[in-house]
Amino acid sequence: MAAQFSKVLIANRGEIALRIQRACREMGIPTVAVHSTADAEAMHVRLADESVCIGPPAARESYLNTAAILSAAIITGADAIHPGYGFLAENAEFADMVEAHGLTFIGPAPAHIRMMGDKIAAKTAMAALGVPLVPGSQGELSGLEEARAVAGRIGYPVLIKAAAGGGGRGMKVAQTPDGLEDAWRVARVESRAAFGNDAVYLEKYLDRPRHIELQVMADAHGHVVHFGERDCSLQRRHQKLLEEAGSPAIGPQARTRLGADVTAALARLGYRNAGTLEFLYQDGQFAFIEMNTRLQVEHPVTEMVCGIDLVREQIRIAAGEALGYGQEDVRFAGHAIECRVTAEDPETFTPTPGLVTAFHAPGGLGVRVDSALYAGYRVPPYYDSLIAKLVVHAPTREQAIARLRRSLAEFAVVGIKTTLPLHERVVEAPEFQAGDYDIHWLERFVAAGS
Ligand code: MV4
């Protein structure tokens, strides 16, 4: 019998807390839910084996309250903590604290979380391991003079980015040499204000890339596999709307080549557990930009195509088990698409918390809905507005789109506005159907309102 945890505490809420509970239940592992006072009636609390209230509604005092969460784990006898995504998932200090209390953090080593949280350290490490990067400065800019020299060498436009950034914060474009000083100053000031750290670096600005990310999984015994790519280019203000596996822009050869480079690099790094490498893809070239050291919102499209339970793999690996299979055993079957349904006005994107009076999720072959919603649930105003992920899988992209269209038509969330109508419009767009879109396409589509 393989090593296994006796009880897992899930330090999250909503659909991802349910998702992790489901994996634990199938593995025969009891779960502990934690919740704020605002979430006492939430589905993740109702379905857990045990639950502990960890504080008031504000995330800072509940889902980010490390002392309360560790106490909950200790009093319930949990021996591992799964952080989900967001909240404490990429907090290296929390991962350290979990381990210091003799519990297991279901995720990477704290040193790797810390390394990838520093975007300069992440790029430096990946460059040394042979992963392709966007042309730019070698590490932190020493000053404006170096910025001028590097930009002069690689050519404008360039982008100044915060070392502590990510998700688009602390980024400034300089279109010409005249704009460089301002971009450099503003990026530093914003970065210091937002992160308490004004280290910045410079990259060639790519004007119409796709955002393609590669899912990897590594065990504690040096084995690394990848589960292919996701195309996450359909986003608005750094909020993803829809993701696909595989990318309509690349084929099996590019996937195999990128996957080989990345798995070799992560094996040399000694990385462990799930990870995602983000790339910009333009003119047939991949360029690494960041690595996420967590399970991601959009992981289900990868699960559908590979037929693998990524959360189960995370838990097995954290318990010390070997992957038990190699890259040649990973098969990519068909195409999957995920729509993120949020409690937001589909035109203005203002949040729409409130009472859900009726809820009907679509079903049938190749349809998966990850959601903690139910009729009578009140969406609280305190947290992320994601209320459901609709995931479809079919043998071809064309069939997946047909399945998505009919699933969206079946989906009913009554009582609050949601982004379901926006998804219905996107699915009908010729550019989407052709797979012909980049990271800017959705913002223009929304602005046109057509
Ligand atoms: C870039 C870029 C163009 N060129 N880097 C935005 C968030 C952060 N993860 C990296 N981002 C970008 N970096 C270079 N050299 C354009 C973006 C970008 C972006 C990237 C991925 C998904 C959506 C995006 C939206 C705007 C800008």
Enumerate domains of the chain plus CATH numbers: 8-106 (3.40.50.20), 135-204 (3.30.1490.20), 210-448 (3.30.470.20)
Q: Which pLDDT value is given to residue 99?
A: 98
State pLDDT tens for residues 361-384. 999 999 999 999 999 999 999 999
Residue 169 pLDDT exceeds 80: no
Q: What is the pLDDT of residue 131?
A: 97
Q: Is 203 in the pocket of ligand 1 (CB under 6 A)?
A: yes
Q: How far is CA 71 from CA 77, 122, 394, in A?
A: 10, 33, 44
2 pLDDT tier (thresholds 50, 70, 90): low
How far apart are the CA of 150 and the centre of ligand 1, in A? Answer: 19
Query: For atom 10 of ligand 1, which residue has the closest CA?
Result: 168
Mean pLDDT in residue range 330-341? 98
Q: Is the pLDDT of residue 412 over 80?
A: yes
Convert the pLDDT of each residue in 177-205 to its tens digit: 999 999 999 999 999 998 899 999 999 99
| 3-class DSSP state of 236 | strand
Return the best residue to mutate from 156, 159, 202, 235 for the ligand 1 pocket (most ligand atoms within 8 A of CB).
159
For 45-75, write each residue's pLDDT tens digit: 999 999 999 999 999 999 999 999 999 999 9
| pLDDT for residue 1 is more than 60 | no
CA dihedral 352, 356, 357, 362 (to 10 degrees): 110
Say yes or no to pLDDT of 250 above 90: yes
Q: What tens digit of pLDDT does each residue of 31-41 get?
A: 999 999 999 99
Distance CA 409, CA 420 (A): 9
| pLDDT higher than 80, residue 234 | yes
* Average model confidence (pLDDT) across the chain: 97
Task: Please work out whether the CB of residue 290 comes within 6 Å of at least one atom of ligand 1.
Answer: yes
Q: Are 305 and 334 in contact (CB under 8 A)?
A: yes
Q: Inform me whether the pLDDT recorded for 260 exceeds 80.
A: yes
- Regarding the beta carbon of 207 and ligand 1, being less than 6 Å apart is answered no
Q: How many C-beta atoms lie closer than 10 Å to residue 409's C-beta?
A: 12
Alpha-carbon distance of 8 to 81, in angstroms, equals 6
CA angle 403–408–409, rounded 5-degree value: 100
Q: Tell me if the pTM is above 0.85.
A: yes
* Substitution site in 161, 439, 440, 444 for ligand 1 pocket (most atoms within 8 Å of beta carbon): 439
DSSP letters, 343-410, are SB-TTT--B--EE--EEE---STTEEEEE---TT-EE-TTS--EEEEEEEEESSHHHHHHHHHHHHHH
- For ligand 1, the distance from its centroid to the CA atom of residue 278, given in whole angstroms, is 10
- Look at residue 358 and tell me whether its pLDDT is greater than 90: yes
pLDDT tens sequence across 15-27: 999 999 999 999 9
In ligand 1, the atom with minimum distance to the C-alpha of 232 is 22
154 CA → ligand 1 middle, Å = 18
Given pLDDT bands bounded at 50, 70 and 90, which one contains residue 165? confident
The answer, yes or no, to whether residue 166 has pLDDT greater than 90, is no
- Quick: pLDDT tens for 101-129: 999 999 999 999 999 999 999 999 999 99
